Structure 1
Amino acid sequence: MTNRRLRVTVFLLALTCYLAVGYWLQVRHGFILGDALARVSAAQAVLFSRDPHLAAIGFIFTPLTAVVQIPAIALSPLWPDMAERAFSGTIMSAVFMAGAVIQIMSMGTDRGLPRGYVLAITALFALNPMIIFYGSNGMSEAPFLFFMSWAVRRLIMWMVDDDVHHLVTAGGIAMGLAYLTRYDAVACIAAAGVLVGATTYLRARPNPRMRRALLDMIMVSGPGLAAFLGWAGVSWLITGEGFGQFTSQYGNAAILEQSGHSAPAFGEGLAFAVVCITLLAPTLIPLALLAFARRRRTPDWHVLAAPVAIYGAALTFQALSYATGSTFPFLRFYIIAIPLAACLAMLAVPDGVLVPAKRRGKFAPVRRPAEQAGRRRPWIAYAPVAATFAVAIPVTAWGMGQPEFAPQEYALGAVLAPQPDSVVERKAIEHSIAASFSTERAIADYLERLDLPDGSVIVDSEYGFAIVAASKRPRMFVVPSDPDFTAMLNEPGAHGVKYMLAIPREGRGTADALNLRYPTLYDTGADIAILEVEVPNDGDSQPDWRLYRVNDVSPAA
């Protein structure tokens, strides 16, 4: 089987696996993470809101993960679970994670490694429980891993053959799109620029070394910088805030403050990050030492700098973000340690025949003929490294069951090993997390049965996104992305609003637009509405809801 056919086969196998897991978790069991459903709701607003427009996608998250779901969301009138159960998110993450699997595999085939070894490392990466989970749940981890692994792979090849095509792909495509997926990428973009600039400066002889180094830096980091400035500029023009994730009432900083989370001591925050990285890649240091021992006497020994710098920049960014109190204690934020370990496993064994360069640069390291001979080596040269990498699977599976480090993953136990009769507090919490958004789906069903006209129900999308996403009639809702939201909120009765969905004015509810305009709405109806239904919430960390009927302001009333 040729390498191309092998890549297609592996991609389809991984894609099928992640789609099946996503269908089982989200459609069959309703296990949906909030950020994944929020992205689905954003994509839905672009097509099916009262005022469909691209800016309805929002500016808290970077846009790519929601934009690529729009074609799948277009099918939601035919299959409501595409939006209601966030299966469009599953499709997005499954495609990107299958692509990340191919990038990891290609790191081995690019170096001419034995096919059995390449497939073993690829399978260990693809079947890691964190990779399976985030390849199927619609979160942003899958596209981020894909773009970062694509960039690292191309930078490794650039260091080997100085082919400018690799810099164009790594910087012009992968890095730019990575920033439109996750804010973490800004650290990787900066690290890539420093790495490429330093490498070119050191090996470009004779002068002008500085000019060549500067050009290469611009080539690899310029598109990412353009994406950074472009997204901030568009956000500022439309919302008045360039970085809504950090300054908006819906951003991380505001959520942390509203939820009462206090920043950890700096040392404790770094220790938390180290533990998470260890849970995800417990043999990272041994693999790094094996790779260094293998590479230190070869002409392209510096290829190790690419994965360490790029993947390491993302890990450092997350560790410092948590240690300084600007993000959450989530295991998933350190998931990039898994492809880092896989990449090191590909570099910790003897090379075969490297894939030929399309345009070998004049500063490429000279390889001795013996190094390109690709002679067969005994399995003992590869088995210890594969076994070292394999340790991650049981350790990570155990770590995902530790609520203090994996609060978003440990509730999988309620689906994988349900104990409905258990009265243990942890099992009760697991069940409530697994049942997240069932209440919101019930509210959406209730409102649909009322047969209301468009623009009849006003709700803030901070928590209400789950109700809108679950509805077969999203045009029934008035949400903050609608241009007339403020006018309808100020005078709901005069603008045809019949119902208001309210949440308690506490925690994140203090930033709810309805609570900001009517502080007593949830408790009393604020003299503009009458309580019709109260709905206790079954989901973990989800608010109770009250549906208020707006007072009739017609002359007859």
Structure 2
Amino acid sequence: MGLGGSDRRLKVTIFFVCLVVYIGVGYWLQVRQGYLMGDTLSRVASTQAVLFSRDPHLAALGFIFTPVAAMVQIPAVLLSPVFPDLAGRALSGSLMSGLFMSGAVVQIFSMGADRGLPRGYSLTITALFALNPMIVFYGSNGMSEAPFIFFMTWAVRRLIKWMVDDDVHHLVTAGGVAMGLAYLTRYDALASVGAAGLVVGLTTYLRARSAPRVHRAVMDVLIVSGPGILAFLGWAAAGWLITGEAFAQFTSQYGNAAIMEQSGAAAPTAVEAVSFSAVCIMFLAPTLLPLALWVLMRRWGRPNWQMMVVPLAVFGAVLAFQALSYAQGSTFGFLRFFIIAIPMAATLALLGVPDGVMARSKRPGKWATVTDPAPERASVTTYVAVAATFAVGIPVTVFGMSQPDYAPQEYALAAVLAPDPDGVSERAATEQRIARTFATERRIAEYLQTLDLPDSSVITDTVYGFGVIAASDRPKVFVIPSDPDFTELLNDPAANGVRYLLAVPPTGRGTADALNLRYPTLYDTGAEVATLELEIPNDGDGQPDWRLYRVSEPSDPE
């Protein structure tokens, strides 16, 4: 009991230390430096629409992203009128990702504690995981990677425990809670749902040496994979009922497939896709393969050897899914999409040393390991060698994050970590533009606030307009696509009291902008419904030059 209490206090300490670090980094990056990720700000704007738009409703979260990463920010965004940076600088996203990534760190430590590993070794692997630069960055920037890693490590930990004690409650937690919520965080989780079902079904079938083997295997598969499948079907049904599209991420004009088509990105060849995926995995976990081979050699045929199958199958399925998605041209070539390689390597490092005295379930199942195998003797050299092998990932990841061809969303961190204001190279200029992304949108929001406009005065699409809306203290000023009367006001802005149209060029992603679809010549000429009042060049990377058009009065011949 004393040791358990000590472990609980240590886990709480680990959680809060990591939370302070991740939120502190997020505050410094986003509030102090203005370094914001587009998906983070987009989610904040969607959450803001749920609470403070002209028509607040939960469906304003949208169906392009799965909802968990945005939905859990609702309490923080609720406070944004008092603390504007929670929305305007996406600090609510940092709170979200900090909480989840701290939880993921605790799950990594718990994998070692569950198996009775030396505390110093468990803490070492935990620290190496927690301080990996990709983990720190995505634990602080409000993206969906943090909750996804948390749910996946939670699921893998409980499935490892199930392999030993056959406690059905581990299956319920891993499948019914962790992987179900993982799917509602990232679509990648669907691959892990299938992999977990396969592993659990085969394990139960092989354990049950007498009939009804198939029945028992099917029941366990339903327990671990059924909730994830229901989450998949439920989210698709909700999207179809509300928007008419069951899989908006793939069919909507705002989804990834449409964005790639709009940007002119071509699908890679099979060789290019495999090469890119392999390099990304190597940047994030360069010793993943040696660790996997080491675990296979140490555990094959020994007591509880089945534990090693879980991370190889569940985490591996996510990596395979990402590689396949990139090969098919349905997702972008981003380093972060392979981030699950880091917790996979950490888990293998914990499995690569002998077990101690394992924590026992209070409700072991029929095929639980009754007694602990005789503890193996392991020299200090073994622990040091495995930990050092895992530690190699940190400097390699730092290098990988500096490569724009593989890490287009991370390499510009150099502009804030090691600024070079006198740099004249094209790369330095690009890094500065990325670091300034959304600064122009904040200035637009500030300008519109000086006009003291009434509600429903500005129409903008959220394709690009989310940065302006999130930075505004008065989101009700904007008419956005999630408003039920958006089409009506867009069709006749003058008659409905709209004063301004916020336009972007009808090129690239701008071709999907609702204003350009309704008025194809709006950006160039005002489309005979508005007059150009202000042109705002954009100094951010990948962001459009804005034009603010003043809506013509009904009697105005313009």
Query: TM-score normalised by the shorter chain: which range applies?
Result: over 0.9
Which amino acid counterpart does residue 14 of structure 1 have in structure 2? Answer: C
Matches of 2:557 and 2:409 in 1, distance apart? 52
- 2:543 paired with 1:539: no
Contact 2:357 2:372 in 1 (8 A): no
* Shift in Å, 1:294: 1.7
Matches of 1:206 and 1:365 in 2, distance apart? 19
1:26-425 equivalences in 2 (<5 Å): 26-367=30-371, 369-371=373-375, 377-425=378-426
CA spacing shift, 1:528–1:330, aligned 2, 3 Å? same
CA spacing shift, 1:344–1:369, aligned 2, 3 Å? closer
Which amino acid counterpart does residue 418 of structure 1 have in structure 2? Answer: P
Which amino acid counterpart does residue 505 of structure 2 have in structure 1? Answer: P
Which region of structure 1 is more displaced relative to structure 2, 201-210 or 472-481? 201-210
Matches of 2:547 and 2:342 in 1, distance apart? 43
Which amino acid counterpart does residue 247 of structure 1 have in structure 2? Answer: T
1:463-474 equivalences in 2 (<5 Å): 463-474=464-475
CA RMSD of aligned residues (A): 1.2
1:400-549 equivalences in 2 (<5 Å): 400-549=401-550
Secondary structure class of the residue paired with 1:117: helix
Which amino acid counterpart does residue 158 of structure 1 have in structure 2? Answer: W
* Shift in Å, 1:478: 0.1
Secondary structure class of the residue paired with 1:16: helix
Using the size of structure 2 for normalisation, the TM-score is 0.98
CA spacing shift, 1:131–1:555, aligned 2, 3 Å? closer
Q: Report runs of 4+ in structure 1 exceeding 6 Å deviation.
A: none
CA spacing shift, 1:555–1:285, aligned 2, 3 Å? closer
Give the number of aligned pairs: 554
* Shift in Å, 1:368: 5.3
* Shift in Å, 1:376: 6.9
Contact 1:299 1:366 in 2 (8 A): no
Matches of 2:99 and 2:470 in 1, distance apart? 22
Secondary structure class of the residue paired with 2:468: helix
* Shift in Å, 1:322: 0.4
Matches of 2:557 and 2:198 in 1, distance apart? 71
Contact 1:350 1:381 in 2 (8 A): no
Contact 2:460 2:515 in 1 (8 A): yes
Structure 2: tracts of 5 or more residues without a match: none
* Shift in Å, 1:27: 0.3
* Shift in Å, 1:329: 0.6
Contact 1:299 1:367 in 2 (8 A): no
* Shift in Å, 1:554: 5.6
Contact 1:459 1:477 in 2 (8 A): yes
* Shift in Å, 1:300: 1.1
Contact 2:47 2:73 in 1 (8 A): yes
Matches of 2:356 and 2:199 in 1, distance apart? 26
Matches of 1:454 and 1:169 in 2, distance apart? 46
Which amino acid counterpart does residue 520 of structure 1 have in structure 2? Answer: T
Secondary structure class of the residue paired with 1:235: helix
* Shift in Å, 1:302: 1.3
* Shift in Å, 1:369: 4.9
* Shift in Å, 1:377: 4.4
* Shift in Å, 1:299: 2.0
Secondary structure class of the residue paired with 1:493: coil
Matches of 1:400 and 1:368 in 2, distance apart? 43
* Shift in Å, 1:555: 9.4
* Shift in Å, 1:556: 12
Contact 2:358 2:372 in 1 (8 A): no
Secondary structure class of the residue paired with 2:406: coil
Which amino acid counterpart does residue 249 of structure 1 have in structure 2? Answer: Q
Contact 2:303 2:373 in 1 (8 A): no
